Amino acid sequence: MVRSCGIHLDHEHYHVVCLEGTAKKHRVSARASGRIPAGEGSRAALTEALRDFVREQKSRPEAVGLAVDSGLAAFRSLTVPFDDRAKIEEIIKFEVESDLPQWSIEDVIVDFLVVDSKPGVESKLLVTALPKAELAEQLAVCEKAGVDPQDAELDGTALFEAARAAGFLDPEAGKVLVHVGDAATTVVVADGERLASIRAIRAGALPPAHGNARTPEGAPEGEEQSAPEEDEAARARGLERSAKRISRELARTISAGGVEHEITAVHICGARMPGLSDQAEVAGVPLVPLSLESPDVGFAAGEEDFAIAYGAALRALGGGVLAPMLRREELHYSGKFERLELPLAVFALLLCTFLGVKLIITQKQIDWRDRGNIEAGMPGDMQVWLQYTGMYLLPDPEHGVPGRLKDPPKKIADYIRAAERGEDPNRTTFQELLFIRGQLQQELKRLKTELGHISDVKQPQSALQATTLALGTLHDLGDAVGRFAIRSLDAEFQQGSNTRKSPDKVLIRLDMDFFAENDVLADQHHAAYMHAMRAQPWCLSYEERPSKPFPSGGGLSFDGIRIEIDVAKALEDMDAEGGA
């Protein structure tokens, strides 16, 4: 399964590499390269070539990376007095705007890489600026071909990743990585395994009249175009001049230093260029091909041209150490969710359609289970229940069924018969059953009212029930109240004002004796009864009275104990406990 795809678009050539596996252990599953024809149809031809390549694969890549020619960009070095990436994001455009006079800052994408950092002190940045129009043109080609890149980078960072993955970087040595493109040559300096700098030399494998259509800053270098009749000698002289220029720039890069480790090798890849690729050394440093040959990865000898595409595919696979983001402005706030908007919208539409169809089918099933087809003799479940309700309640003399209601009210009987025939269009069968139940309850209430079982006259609370509650609590305490005697008990109903503060109640007056070995123990027995009564929700008050000791000792006498009890509250609590 194709996991990632790297695309490198140059001036007149393209290279594509597909990887499968993981970032640490991967293999090339497919590769392709070709020439981009000149003229107005170049973009259409490139789109078709990429589309054909994608069709040849068994599956679409999960991630796509695009590498853009570094010759289209400008590079600047910048030092800022902090290392917070969020702050760098905020100020980077303002800091480099004065260094890019050839472009409007709103027309370029500004990206940066941290090449060195002192935590909390400063950061050294490699800032790149690329015209938005150049990137948009290449992204449009990829999108039309069906390989929309998740992000884009310059070919310099892709070259660094390819060299790192191929094992060309040495932690104890500096290396110069060179990619000869069609119109520009990318030079990357690696200090150990750290990126030190990137630059682009405006000279490549094509003659200057063909390849150098733009200056490093994006302005035309000249109006002269290569004529078809240009002889081979002039072409060779142009390539020779380009090779000498690249050699001089490489020698200048090596002698400039700026790295901690000594530069031990220059690794070159890309197009072969007479006068450069065949050199053994540059400024005393060996010139070595950046060979990707590896049986494990899947590259053969002589496939150095795929280095940039390989690096882009590797980073798309999640294996890069650098973090370039040329699509930062386009995708900065949207993130991955923007890319999922269309699939999510389609999914939501399909889900709504499915739920709508499911609702219609379920409603039809409910209707069938509810009423059924009475005319065809196929009643639904609820209709059967309704019919058996009529059979149970109403008498049927023809079949000798007495029915539960010997003399049902005509109104209820007529409605039940009409409901059995499905003549109530305003109610479902279940609602008809509820309506019948409501009619029966109303009729039952009417009969109870006529018989006097239900009355609107509020009955007084029972003094007997209040006395039972008070004495029942005394009995439940058992040994906690010891031996006692009730000398006098009087209970009477007292009507309240129909408010919560003054409800109806029963007033009980008690004269009691508590027997014990001493007065202290007798008082404890009385206190136990008093606390138990006050803890009851139906006890409104318990008024304590002074005690009198027995003349001979052995107990206390209490006269005129007043207890107020709300019997209605007690009955409510009993009903609640019974329902639970």
Q: Is 19's pLDDT higher than 50?
A: yes
Please report the sign of the dihedral spanned by the C-alpha atoms of residue 253, residue 259, residue 264, residue 266.
negative
Check residue 273 and give its pLDDT: 85
Torsion angles phi and psi, residue 575, rounded to 5:
-65, -40
Q: Which of the listed residues 333, 353, 383 is the one where a domain comes to its end? A: 333
Query: Do 509 and 542 form a contact (C-beta atoms < 8 A)?
Result: no
pLDDT tens digits for range 200-242? 998 888 877 554 444 444 444 444 444 455 567 888 888 888 8
Question: Do 252 and 117 belong to one domain?
Answer: yes
Distance CA 141, CA 45 (A): 10
How far, rounded to the nearest angstrom, does the alpha carbon of residue 400 sit from its chain's CA centroid?
Answer: 69
Q: What are phi and psi of 348, to 5 degrees?
A: -65, -40
Instruction: For residues 353 and 324, state if they share a domain.
Output: no
Is 255 part of any domain? yes
Q: How far apart are alpha carbons 353 and 411 in whole angstroms? A: 46
**Lowest-pLDDT range, 77-86, 494-503, 545-554?**
494-503
Three-class secondary structure of residue 286 per DSSP: strand
> Is residue 153 a contact partner of residue 66, using CB atoms and an 8 Å limit?
yes
Domain end position, chosen among 314, 333, 352: 333
**Max avg pLDDT among 335-339, 359-363, 389-393:** 359-363
Residue 503 CA to residue 61 CA, distance in Å, equals 81
C-beta pairs of 537-546 under 8 Å, 24+ apart in sequence: 537/569, 537/570, 537/573, 538/469, 538/565, 538/566, 538/567, 538/569, 538/570, 538/573, 539/563, 539/564, 539/565, 539/566, 540/503, 540/505, 540/564, 540/565, 540/566
Q: Tens digits of per-residue pLDDT, 304-344?
A: 889 999 999 999 888 888 888 888 776 554 445 666 788 88
Q: Which residue, chain included where needed, has tokens 């069924």?
A: 401
Residues 442 and 468 in one domain: no
Question: Are 151 and 60 in the same domain?
Answer: yes
Cα 247 to Cα 10, 75, 201, 252, 281, distances in angstroms: 21, 20, 10, 9, 10
Task: Provide CB contacts within 8 A for 542, sequence distance 6+.
Answer: 530, 533, 534, 561, 562, 563, 564
Q: Give the separation between CA 575 and CA 580, rounded to whole angstroms.
A: 9
361 and 421 both lie in a single domain: no
DSSP 492: E
Q: Are 126 and 197 in contact (CB under 8 A)?
A: yes
Name residues whose C-beta falls within 8 Å of residue 219's C-beta, 6 or more positions apart in sequence.
102
For residue 228, being part of any structural domain is answered with: no
Answer with the residue of higher pLDDT: 339 or 171. Answer: 171
Q: Are residues 329 and 356 in the same domain?
A: no
Q: What is the C-alpha to C-alpha distance for residues 237 and 231, in angstroms, rounded to an integer?
A: 10
**Number of structural domains found in the chain:** 4
CA distance 7 to 17: 7
Q: Is there a single domain that holds both residue 122 and residue 244? A: yes
User: Which two three-digit tokens encode residue 564?
Assistant: 């107020």
pLDDT at 17: 93
CB distance 316 to 18 below 8 Å: no
- Identify any residues that bridge with 191 across adjacent strands, giving them in sequence order: 174, 194
> pLDDT category, 379, cuts 50, 70, 90?
confident
Q: Is residue 476 a part of any domain in this protein?
A: yes
d(C-alpha 405, C-alpha 59), whole Å: 76
Give Dmax over CA atoms of the chain in angstroms: 148
> Both 345 and 412 in a single domain?
no
Is residue 13 in some structural domain? yes
Q: Which helix (H) or strand (E) holds 130?
A: strand 122-131
User: Average pLDDT in the 133-147 region?
Assistant: 90
Q: List, in order, residues 6 or more apart from 240 with CB less than 8 Å away.
A: 274, 275
Distance CA 502, CA 510 (A): 22
Does the pTM exceed 0.85? no
The pLDDT value given to residue 536: 94
Distance (Å, rounded) from C-alpha 223 to C-alpha 69? Answer: 22
pLDDT category at 62 given cuts 50, 70, 90 is: confident
Residue 210 three-state SS: helix
The whole-number pLDDT of residue 449 equals 83
Same domain, 9 and 29: yes
Task: Classify 428 as helix, strand or coil.
Answer: coil
Q: What is the pLDDT at residue 175?
A: 93
Last residue of a domain, one of 333, 350, 379: 333
C-alpha–C-alpha distance, residues 135 and 236, integer Å: 32
Distance CA 329, CA 323 (A): 15
Q: Is the distance from CB of 305 to CB of 15 less than 8 angstroms?
A: yes
Could you tell me if residue 122 is inside a domain?
Answer: yes
Mean pLDDT of 443-452: 85
Is 394 found in the same domain as 350? no
387, two tokens: 């019919």
pLDDT tens-digit readout, 178-199: 999 988 999 999 999 899 999 9
Q: Is residue 70 situated within a structural domain?
A: yes
Calculate mean pLDDT across residues 109-119.
Answer: 89
List the structure tokens of 180.
């000869």
Q: Strand 151-154 and strand 63-68: pairing?
A: parallel
Helix (H), strand (E) at residue 205: none
**Do 440 and 389 reside in the same domain of the chain?**
yes
Q: Is 177 inside a domain boundary?
A: yes
| Closest CA relative to residue 510, chosen from 451, 432, 438, 565 | 565
* Cβ-Cβ contacts under 8 Å for 285 (sequence gap 6 or more): 176, 254, 263, 264, 265, 266
For 35, which DSSP code?
E
H-run or E-run covering 67: strand 63-68
- The token pair at 198 is 């990137």
Query: Do 439 and 566 fall within a single domain?
Result: no
SS3 category, 391: helix
CATH number at residue 488: 3.30.70
**In this predicted structure, what is the pLDDT of residue 338?**
62
Give the number of other Cβ atoms within 10 Å of residue 135's Cβ: 21
Q: Lowest mean pLDDT of 17-31, 40-54, 70-84, 445-459, name the range.
A: 445-459
Structural domain includes residue 457: no
Q: Which residue has the tokens 């087809």?
A: 373
Task: Give me the phi and psi of 378, to 5 degrees please.
Answer: -125, 75
Taking the CB of residue 273, how many other CB atoms lie within 10 A of it? 21
Domain extent for 511: 463-579
Residue 90 tokens, joined: 């905020």
Q: Could you report the per-residue pLDDT of 478-516, keeping only the tens digit for each?
A: 999 999 999 999 999 998 876 667 888 999 999 999 999
